[in-house]
A and B are shown apart, each in its own frame.
Chain A
Amino acid sequence: MAGSKEIRTQVASIKGTQKITKAMEMVAASKMRKAQERMLATRPYAEKIQNVVEHLSQAHPEYHHPYLQMREPKRVGLIIISTDRGLCGGLNINLFKSAITSMKEWDAAGLEIDLTLIGTKSGAFFKRLGGNIVATATHLGDTPSIVELIGTVKVMLDAYEAGTIDRLYLAHNEFENTMTQNPLLKQLIPVAAEPDEQLKDHWDYIYEPDSRPVMDALMIRYIESLVYQGVVENVACEQAARMVAMKSATENADDLIDELQLIYNKARQAAITQEISEIVSGAAAV
């Protein structure tokens, strides 16, 4: 019975792998649920702060914040949010591809690019690719906290205020549902506030102590909350993508086992047939 032992060990090893992928699938499924809840929990803050910022961009305080001003771009900043771990299908690669497409466009337009990378995967990728990386944040885990992002975001905000960069973009995955996650690129600065018709003849706020520090503090928090939301959403995407990837890996292992089982049975049958024919021909010779 040539090869049957090898086939048996191969089946056993695939079964072992299958157990792991199955376990990872279930872990990812439960983590995804939690990540989705966390994603929803960040919504109220984001909506509220967005409302305030929109009101402020309509109001006319004596101080016009730089984040609301359009500048002719010479250099752009891009924050890319990736996962820390692999085994999540094409999630990171799809995001990097879409980011590279935009980067090529900027490059063609003669713009230079500064990168800020969140997550180890983007670090490894863009280091290989070569790019001007100015800041990174890694190992945020499944429950990222905003504290870990403040510094990373500040590097980009400082660069904007110093005039080093004139635009700031954020690239992350958007969680549509369990099966679909889309790479998304959005502009953070200048803040694109849509003019609201209702607010045309609109009151201005009382600023305490003054419009300037209030606006500064608010704008920084606004950008941070957008980045934080991106990070939280990316975690949900990561878990969903991993769940789907592991599910298909488990199914593939099933197919492989079936196939190998068939080959094994055939080999076994062939060996038995051969043995019988040997015995029969041996008996006939006697």
Chain B
Amino acid sequence: MAMTLHVDIVSAEAEIFSGTATMVFAPAEMGEVGIAPRHAPLVTRLKPGEVRVQTQEGDEMSFFVSGGMLEVQPHVITVLADTAIRADDLDEAQAMEAKERAEKMLSDKSAELDYAKAQAELAQSIAQLAAIKKLRAKS
């Protein structure tokens, strides 16, 4: 019997593939790697590209990944695929956006927040009215 290894390709949002294979090819950062069963433990980053899985039947399946991580153990391969295109400056831009949103929210008295405030005040007045009504009913 040919030696096989278990392959899991998962992304943060869903499981993409899980099954056995005889050989797996992945676009590692230092160049494409081919992993056969009983490979030494390895962790590496992936570049955007194709992960190819050769099954026992000799078929070849390919999955596109936009980057991610590859973890190899002698009989298990895990591909942690990214769903987003990652780059340092891109991430930086998004972090800036998140900060700006916070600043905007704090300075901006936009309709949405005023609405929440009005709602809270309304709830307070309703409670006050209810209390007054109760007091009146008693006296």
Q: How many residues of A contact B (CB 8 A)?
A: 50
Closest Cβ of chain B: how far from A164's Cβ, in Å? 13
Q: How large is the interface on B (under 10, 10 to 19, 20 to 34, 35 or more residues)?
A: 35 or more
The reply to whether B91 and A146 form a contact with Cβ atoms under 8 Å apart is: no
Whether, in the assembled complex, A286 has its beta carbon less than 8 Å from a beta carbon of chain B, the answer is no
Closest to A148 in B: B94
Whether, in the assembled complex, A96 has its beta carbon less than 8 Å from a beta carbon of chain B, the answer is no
Whether, in the assembled complex, A42 has its beta carbon less than 8 Å from a beta carbon of chain B, the answer is yes
Whether, in the assembled complex, B38 has its beta carbon less than 8 Å from a beta carbon of chain A, the answer is no
Complex interface residues of chain A between 194 and 211 (CB less than 8 A to chain B): 203-209
Stretch among A171-179, A218-226, A250-258, A268-276 lining the B interface: A218-226
Closest Cβ of chain B: how far from A188's Cβ, in Å? 15
Per the bound structure, the CA–CA distance linking A117 and B68 in Å amounts to 27
Interface SS of chain A: helix, strand, loop or mixed? helix
Closest Cβ of chain B: how far from A48's Cβ, in Å? 5
6 extra interchain contacts, Cβ-Cβ under 8 A, other than A45-B12, A214-B44?
A44-B10, A52-B71, A117-B102, A134-B99, A135-B101, A208-B44
**B interface residues (Cβ-Cβ under 8 A, vs A):** 8, 10-15, 18, 28-30, 40-45, 68-69, 71, 78, 80, 82-84, 86, 91-99, 101-102, 105-106, 112-113, 116-117, 120
**A interface residues (Cβ-Cβ under 8 A, vs B):** 38, 41-42, 44-46, 48-49, 51-52, 56, 116-117, 120-121, 123-125, 127-128, 133-138, 145-147, 150-152, 154-155, 158, 203-209, 213-214, 217-218, 221, 224-225, 228
